[in-house]
Chain A
Amino acid sequence: MSTTALRRQAPIVDFAPATPAAPAAAQPPGDSVHGLAIDVQGLRKSFGANPVLNGIDLHVAAGQFVAIVGRSGSGKSTLLRLLLGLEQPSAGTFSFADGAERIDNLRVARVMFQEPRLLPWASVIANVEVGLGADRKTAGSGDRALATLAAVELEEKRNAWPAVLSGGQKQRVSLARALVSRPRVLALDEPLGALDALTRISMQRLLERMWLDQGFTALLVTHDVAEAVTLADRVIVIDDGAIALDIRIELPRPRQRGSADVAALEGRILDKLFAGAESP
């Protein structure tokens, strides 16, 4: 797939708070990368007197898969909630950019939570249609919902109630709901955290496949370092409300869990996390 190849080779600016929109400009004109670039500048958030994020500067290129790891309470989920507009920043800005054009509309982003958050009183297909928002009533939206459900291999469960699905199936419906509107940014807040190990691996593969297919910008918050290294183009470690490490993962896809390259990177990130834990 050519767009994928392009995206993988696209220059990625690490630690470059002063160069907003540069990578987006580097995209060839007319390129069909679907994702949006994200620009974060001096983002701060505190709850009362409690600082959670102390000035985050971050630029995410369009279509990039970024994993954000950190220990519990490091502020990684808060970063995601700020990005989704669920919280208001105490200081600083973040914006989405389509080329040089800034987009303020938060509706370009979709989210997948740790819990499936399906409506128990709506059938599986109706839950997927929730993701279409106001487009639900337009022509062809039903087909789109069904096609997305087929992509997560749950077509035959379309009329079932969520209560009868397994945990992994529920998360697949939740993924279909997030992707049915073809979002340009997908935020994932530890979406696989509650799944068993095997289901988790197959969900990771599904997630990767959907990302390669649709080309959205992905922001994955996780505390599973192996998962971050297997899936992401770039891993950011957040510690004490600041970026402690920002590395690019340039291993070819699909990546083998447990391969030497993956393990080496995993070790490096874990070292950083533990270093943060031991320092006062």
Chain B
Amino acid sequence: MNLRPFPEWRQTRFTRRLTRSFTHWLVPLLIILVWQVAVSSGRLSTRILPAPTDVVEAGWRLLKSGELQRNMWVSFWRAMVGFAIGGSIGFAFGLANGLSRRSEAVFDSTLQMVRNIPHLALIPLVILWFGIDETAKIFLVALGVFFPIYINTQHGIRSVDPQLVEMGRIYGMTPWELFWRVILQGALPSIFVGVRFGLGIMWLTLIVAETIAASSGIGYMAMQAREFLLLDVVVLSILIYALLGKAADSAARLLERVCLAWHPAFQEP
């Protein structure tokens, strides 16, 4: 049974991608349209929500003054540095505790204990330690990113098929080859799950940290705008967070599709 609406329309890979990405944006575009109509027709007060056009205008204004780029860059830099630090420590602990029972016995229960403290609850302490400079934000982001990457790396290594490891041993793989060609590859799908979770937590942490204690960044920009009742800038900041989050996730998914091309779940239809 052919369920395609237009069977005579031969789809190439390009048009298929194009229609797929259009489908992704269909709902957001629709929401913006309804929003614009609601504000323009006066059904929604601009004191509650400014029109999308006003938000774009505010963006343009801040772009020209250079404020937008500067704040975005600061936020982006904090996110990436925090992610890199927390991610690599989490990855290292995940590897160690996944590969060695002894290492797990020593570290795992302590790490699980720390994991159960919501890292945002540490904000007062972090401010007392580091003040409101960069270290505080990067510390919080790194702490937030650490756990999903740690847990998923460890889980991924533990769930590598032992039959494949045995095969590698029998076929004379060196320990390094066994790690690189069998264990790490087998753990990769799970590590990517950790990376995507970590990216989500990265933005969340940064938003909170920048809103509470910062003198630059998107979150700071939003808080400043609130002081002066610049609703359009507040909404702009929120939308920028959404876009940055989406961009990071898309990058991770692209990487995932390249690295896991062998996986049945990522095969091109």
Report B-chain residues with C-beta under 8 Å of the C-beta of A111: 170
Residues of A within 8 A of B170 (CB): 84, 86, 110-111
The 4 nearest A-B residue pairs measured at CB: A133-B172, A117-B167, A121-B262, A121-B185
Given A84-B170, A131-B171, A133-B171, residue A117 in contact with residue B264 (CB < 8 A) = no
> Whose C-beta in chain B lies nearest to the C-beta of A109?
B170
Whether a CB of chain B sits under 8 angstroms from the CB of A26 is no
> A107-B172, A131-B171, A161-B262 are known contacts. Are A119 and B182 too (CB-CB below 8 A)?
yes
Interface readout for B91-103 with A: 1 if CB under 8 Å, 0 if not?
0000000000000
Residues of A121-174 whose CB lies within 8 A of B: 121-122, 130-131, 133-134, 161-164
- Residue from A86, A119, A177 in contact with B185 in the complex, judged by beta carbons closer than 8 Å: A119
* Residue A190 at the chain B interface, CB threshold 8 Å: no
What's the minimum C-beta distance from A191 to chain B, rounded to whole angstroms? 13
Residues B264 and A163 in contact, CB atoms below 8 Å apart? yes
Taking the complex as formed, is A113 at the interface, i.e. its CB lies under 8 A from any CB of chain B?
A: yes
- For chain A, the count of residues having a C-beta within 8 Å of the partner chain is 21
Residue-by-residue, is B139-168 near A (CB-CB < 8 Å gives 1, otherwise 0)? 000000000000000000000000110111
Assembled-state Cα–Cα distance A164/B262 (Å): 9
**Complex: how many Å from CA A121 to CA B164?**
12
Closest to B260 in A: A121
Listed A/B pairs (18) with beta-carbon separation below 8 Å: A84-B170, A86-B166, A107-B172, A110-B170, A115-B163, A117-B167, A119-B164, A119-B181, A120-B263, A121-B186, A121-B262, A121-B263, A130-B167, A131-B171, A133-B171, A162-B262, A163-B262, A177-B171
Interface, chain A (partner B; CB < 8 A)? 84, 86, 107, 110-111, 113, 115, 117, 119-122, 130-131, 133-134, 161-164, 177
A residues less than 8 Å from B110 (CB atoms): none
Bound together, the chains give a CA A164 to CA B260 distance in angstroms of 14
Contacts of A130 in B (CB 8 A): 167-168, 171, 173, 181
Interface size on B, residues (CB 8 A): 20
Number of A-B contacts (CB under 8 A): 48
Q: How far is the CB of B218 from chain A (nearest CB, A)?
A: 38
Residues of A contacting B168 in the complex (Cβ-Cβ under 8 angstroms)? 130
Are B171 and A122 in contact, CB atoms less than 8 angstroms apart? no
Given contacts A115-B163, A161-B262, A164-B267, 19 further A-B contacts (CB under 8 A): A86-B166, A110-B170, A110-B171, A113-B167, A117-B163, A117-B164, A119-B185, A121-B185, A121-B260, A121-B262, A121-B263, A122-B262, A130-B168, A130-B171, A130-B181, A133-B173, A161-B261, A161-B267, A177-B171
Are B264 and A122 interface neighbours, CB within 8 A? no
Contacting A at CB under 8 A, from B229-269, are 260-264, 267
When chains A and B are docked, how far (Å) is the Cα of A119 from the Cα of B160? 11
Give the Cβ gap from B38 to chain A, nearest Cβ, in Å.
Answer: 49
Residues in chain B near residue A177, CB distance under 8 A: 171
Q: Who on chain A is nearest to B189 by CB?
A: A121
Residue of B168, B170, B262 with highest tally of chain A CB at under 10 A:
B170
> B172 near A134 (CB under 8 angstroms)?
yes
